[in-house]
Amino acid sequence: MAREPSVGDGAARTGTTEIRRSVRRADLKAVGEVRRALRELVRHRCRAETSDVAELLVTELVSNALVHTEQGAEVSVTLVATRLRVEVRDFNARRPTPYVTSADDGTHGRGLVLVQALADAWGVDPLAPGRGKVVWFELEAPAPA
């Protein structure tokens, strides 16, 4: 079951704010819960357009993890100063690759292309054998004007 967002114990001392959430396999309703937790985290700390992009990209990464792997995922969102980092860990070592879709693909296959196009940085970090991978993105997150 999805956990409530947690704010790191050191947040007041370091200026770091975070969310950590576990999502069960095939629990697609948890995608919306993760998106709402992210929105709440950045609501007063970032510009609205940063929040919109972050919500879209976290939706894509969590959905990918739940649809394309046999186990759940772990989501970590960290906001340090003006840098937002989102990590989605799944338990499948297969590396995802962005690809250009055709009209026959319907709504599938666009997630990583969006991440590639909209994130300031992104990547895939393999974990130890049998432990899966982390797909992540970062956005500059300037404070609201």
Task: State the CATH number of the domain containing residue 33.
Answer: 3.30.565.10
Q: Show pLDDT as tens, one digit a residue, over the chain (145 residues).
A: 333 333 333 333 345 689 999 999 888 889 999 999 999 999 889 999 999 999 999 999 999 999 888 889 999 999 998 999 999 999 999 888 776 666 565 555 678 889 999 999 999 999 999 899 999 999 999 999 8
Asked whether the beta carbons of 101 and 109 are under 8 A apart, the reply is yes
- Specify the number of domains making up the chain: 1
For tokens 């393999």, what's the residue? 126
Amino acid at 64: N
Is 6 part of a structural domain of the chain? no
Is 42 part of a structural domain of the chain? yes
Question: Both tokens of residue 43?
Answer: 């609501």
pLDDT, tens digit (0-9, with 9 covering 90-100), for 58-81: 999 999 999 888 889 999 999 998
Is 145 part of a structural domain of the chain? no
Asked whether the beta carbons of 86 and 77 are under 8 A apart, the reply is yes
The helix (run of H) or strand (run of E) holding residue 30 is: helix 29-42
Is 2 part of a structural domain of the chain? no
Is 4 part of a structural domain of the chain? no
Is 89 part of a structural domain of the chain? yes
